[in-house]
Amino acid sequence: DVKVTQSSRYLVKRTGEKVFLECVQDMDHENMFWYRQDPGLGLRLIYFSYDVKMKEKGDIPEGYSVSREKKERFSLILESASTNQTSMYLCASSSGVVTIGEQFFGPGTRLTVL
């Protein structure tokens, strides 16, 4: 079974802190994604990566950065956390370079910024 794990299920941080969310997948997938999910807004793409050290901005990249130094690991960084970044953060991975493929999601990290 594909497994995507996220470093924390719940996280509470203070405004202005630097926050690291880590995601690891064990299926050698090329593509990895970070989403945030808010009630009524659905899943919104923050960043995605289609290869090591490669990244593309999604729909809402402002206030976030990412790092992919190894194929299995994709990190989301909040440089200076703000209260409007309180949300559920979901990591996903998928296979294929030119073919389509379903995404497999991690369990999510519920981040609260006070």
Partner 1 sequence: EDQVTQSPEALRLQEGESSSLNCSYTVSGLRGLFWYRQDPGKGPEFLFTLYSAGEEKEKERLKATLTKKESFLHITAPKPEDSATYLCAVQTSGTYKYIFGTGTRLKVLA
| Nearer residue to partner 1 within complex by CB, 90 or 113 | 90
If one counts every other C-beta atom within 10 angstroms of the C-beta of residue 21, the result is 21
Least distance from partner 1 to the Cβ atom of residue 41, Å: 7
Least distance from partner 1 to the Cβ atom of residue 74, Å: 13
Length of the chain: 114
Least distance from partner 1 to the Cβ atom of residue 101, Å: 8
Strands 10-13 and 109-113: parallel
| Nearer residue to partner 1 within complex by CB, 16 or 107 | 107
Q: Quick one: which H or E segment has residue 17? A: none
| Nearer residue to partner 1 within complex by CB, 80 or 91 | 91
Q: What angle do CA 47, 82, 110 make, to 5 degrees?
A: 65
Least distance from partner 1 to the Cβ atom of residue 16, Å: 27
| Nearer residue to partner 1 within complex by CB, 62 or 100 | 100
Residues of this chain that interact with partner 1 (CB under 8 A) are 4, 31, 33, 40-43, 45, 48, 50, 56, 58, 90, 92, 100-108, 110
